[in-house]
Amino acid sequence: MNESSGNRMRSTAHGLRPDPRWPALAPSLAEIVVTAGDPAYAHARSNYMRIGSPTAVFQPATEEGVRSAVMYAAEVRRLTGERVPLSVRSGGHGISGASTNDGGIVIDLSKLSGFEELAPSASLVRVGAGSTWGQVSARLAPHGRALTSGNVGPTGVGGIATSGGIGYFARSQGLTLDHVRRVRVVTADGGIRWVDDEQDPELFWALRGGATHAGIAVDFILDAPMIGSGAPGAPILHQEVEYAVDDLSGFVERWGSWINGAPREAESFLMMQAMGDGRTWVRAQNVWANDDTATARPVLESALALGRVLDHHTVALPYPRLVPHRGGSHTRQQPLEMRAALIDRADRALGEAMSSALVHRATMLGEIRALGGAVSDVPAGATAWAGRHQEAFAATWIHPLGTDAADESFAALRESSTGSYGAYSTDTRPTEAARAWPGATGERLGRTADQVDPERLFDRGLVLPRSDDRALM
Ligand SMILES: Cc1cc2nc3c(=O)[nH]c(=O)nc-3n(C[C@H](O)[C@H](O)[C@H](O)COP(=O)(O)OP(=O)(O)OC[C@H]3O[C@@H](n4cnc5c(N)ncnc54)[C@H](O)[C@@H]3O)c2cc1C
């Protein structure tokens, strides 16, 4: 990965430089850099939401490499006097698209993908930030364990474990970040350390929900719950039901009562779209996080009474089949806008707000997911994810018609919300940061960021403004 491999990096008497105004790369960094013209650049430049044109992508395979890349980025800013963008990337599935940039530096952690069992039958595991959740589920399944994540296997461990994780087991296991026991972090000053409830608890608090505010997580120690009896490859019931719904408000109200009354093993995700004739097409994915299928069946059968069913089927799958690992490049698969909201009640009012979003010309799809259960067992101040009391998560997938159209389409849902899931939104304005980290959570996270990253080296994507900027708000 130097000039002889075909890239356009400048070699001068003073060494290799990705940009003539930047410092020369130390040999260890020259070994791991990818720049335009390098065959690896096409993959390294893009993520799920956008095609970037970063000047340098570093792909470290060690935490020392991450530290060197962080220090180099700080030096570039110091020398140029410019806020050269710095992105952190784990799986590249981030919805803000902030894990790539134009003209800056990306630290790509995909080579930090280790997996180690730390306790018998993988009840405690050490997982590299660059692993994907599909890889993790495949490693846990033989032990009869599964860890809630996102519902898409290629999503990175680093992004989800630091920002949230509303997965198929949310009601039974809580958020992904609730299973983080320790984090190995590289901070903006180049420090590397383990943090947990005893060692640097403030940083540990911030790393669970605060995304990059506290630094770059390179390794996680996670507890991995057993699924039901813990039988290897324990089957998980996955029910899909399609409905044609005349009255979405009534449907959401019935769905809310059903899922809130169901045992925690049950989780339900709704995906919906306006059919154009006043009706709404709704697809429910209902999951039973236990191999006790006898108890599950009546619960899942009652989902068929929630509305007029077009089609349905139920299969028993091991978790890795539900959240499979898929390799391949990111090619800006979804050039769209997204908005997210945490909603207190899964009731008629939520259905009304979602209806108003779905009929807007900008809205492509709507989603509602059940929260509560184990998500609500954790006190609001225990992590930097403050939204613990809400019953539902709602989001919309929006045609890229501009920010105003996106805001307008989402206005009713936003109005009825009491928080947001920052990593599920393309909105990175300070107003969104204030929704994701409201009140005391935002103040505490801002204080931590001011302490560990006073220059705000990590300022990409959804981040709180610096304290001096906050004073101006
Ligand atoms: C199609 C799709 C489906 C999704 N489904 C779900 C779902 O079911 N449930 C759910 O909860 N979310 C879901 N998401 C949202 C996604 O999980 C989050 O956006 C997550 O942050 C992506 O993680 P990543 O590592 O793949 O992303 P990346 O693009 O690599 O990173 C995103 C951001 O996370 C931060 N970050 C990444 N790695 C680190 C690290 N190691 N240390 C510190 N900060 C870091 C950075 O700010 C970065 O800009 C989905 C996203 C997509 C595109």
* Mean pLDDT in residue range 74-97: 96
Strand blocks (E) in 198-357 = 216-223, 235-245, 266-274, 280-288, 308-318, 337-343
Residue nearest to atom 44 of ligand 1 (CA): 212
Ligand 1 centroid–CA 100 distance in Å is 12
Has residue 6 got a pLDDT over 90? Answer: no
pLDDT in tens, 188-205: 999 999 999 999 999 999
What pLDDT is stored for residue 341 in this prediction? 98
Residue nearest to atom 41 of ligand 1 (CA): 158
Q: Which atom of ligand 1 is nearest to the CA of 151?
A: 8
What pLDDT is stored for residue 326 in this prediction? 77
Please indicate whether residue 209, judged by its CB atom, sits closer than 6 Å to ligand 1: no
Sheet of 192-195: strand order equals 115-117, 124-128, 216-223, 180-186, 192-195
Domains, the chain, in order of start with CATH, read 3-108 (3.30.43.10), 115-223 (3.30.465.10), 439-472 (no CATH)
Has residue 1 got a pLDDT over 90? Answer: no
What pLDDT is stored for residue 5 in this prediction? 41
What pLDDT is stored for residue 334 in this prediction? 72
What pLDDT is stored for residue 325 in this prediction? 82
CA distance 249 to 411: 17
What pLDDT is stored for residue 103 in this prediction? 97
Say how many CA atoms lie within 13 Å of 189 toward its Cβ: 8
* Mean pLDDT in residue range 31-47: 94
The encoded tokens of residue 186 equal: 């590289």
Has residue 339 got a pLDDT over 50? Answer: yes
Has residue 473 got a pLDDT over 60? Answer: no
pLDDT in tens, 419-456: 999 999 999 999 999 999 999 999 999 999 999 999 99
Q: Which atom of ligand 1 is nearest to the CA of 214?
A: 43
Tell me what the pLDDT averaged over the chain comes to.
Answer: 93
DSSP conformation letters of 179-190:
GEEEEEEE-TTS
Instruction: Decide: pTM greater than 0.85.
Output: yes
Question: 3: pLDDT confidence band, cut at 50, 70 and 90?
Answer: very low
What pLDDT is stored for residue 471 in this prediction? 56
Please indicate whether residue 85, judged by its CB atom, sits closer than 6 Å to ligand 1: no
| Residue-wise burial string across 81-104, b where 16 or more C-beta atoms lie within 10 A, e elsewhere | eeebbbbbbbbbbbbbbbbbbeeb
What pLDDT is stored for residue 398 in this prediction? 97
CA distance 149 to 177: 9
Residue nearest to atom 52 of ligand 1 (CA): 93
Ligand 1 centroid–CA 41 distance in Å is 21
CA distance 326 to 299: 31
* Mean pLDDT in residue range 227-232: 89
Question: 15: pLDDT confidence band, cut at 50, 70 and 90?
Answer: low
Contacts of 352 (CB under 8 A, 6+ apart): 248, 249, 412
Instruction: For residue 30, give the 3-state DSSP assignment.
Output: helix
Please indicate whether residue 155, judged by its CB atom, sits closer than 6 Å to ligand 1: yes
Q: Which atom of ligand 1 is nearest to the CA of 95?
A: 19
What pLDDT is stored for residue 470 in this prediction? 61
Has residue 8 got a pLDDT over 70? Answer: no
Residue nearest to atom 27 of ligand 1 (CA): 94
Contact 35, 61 (CB under 8 A): no
Q: Which atom of ligand 1 is nearest to the CA of 157?
A: 25
The encoded tokens of residue 80 equal: 């140029």
Ligand 1 centroid–CA 418 distance in Å is 22
CA distance 173 to 150: 13
Ligand 1 centroid–CA 272 distance in Å is 22
Ligand 1 centroid–CA 294 distance in Å is 35
Contact 33, 318 (CB under 8 A): no
Q: Which atom of ligand 1 is nearest to the CA of 215?
A: 43
What pLDDT is stored for residue 457 in this prediction? 96
Q: Which atom of ligand 1 is nearest to the CA of 154?
A: 26
What pLDDT is stored for residue 10 in this prediction? 57
Percentage of the chain beyond pLDDT 90 is 85
Residue nearest to atom 35 of ligand 1 (CA): 159
Ligand 1 centroid–CA 288 distance in Å is 24
Question: 467: pLDDT confidence band, cut at 50, 70 and 90?
Answer: confident
Ligand 1 centroid–CA 176 distance in Å is 12
pLDDT in tens, 259-316: 999 999 999 999 999 999 999 999 999 999 988 889 999 999 999 999 999 999 999 9
Residue with tokens 């996106």: 406
Query: How, if at all, do strands 192-195 and 266-274 pair?
Result: unpaired
* Mean pLDDT in residue range 396-415: 97
Please indicate whether residue 99, judged by its CB atom, sits closer than 6 Å to ligand 1: yes
Please indicate whether residue 187, judged by its CB atom, sits closer than 6 Å to ligand 1: no
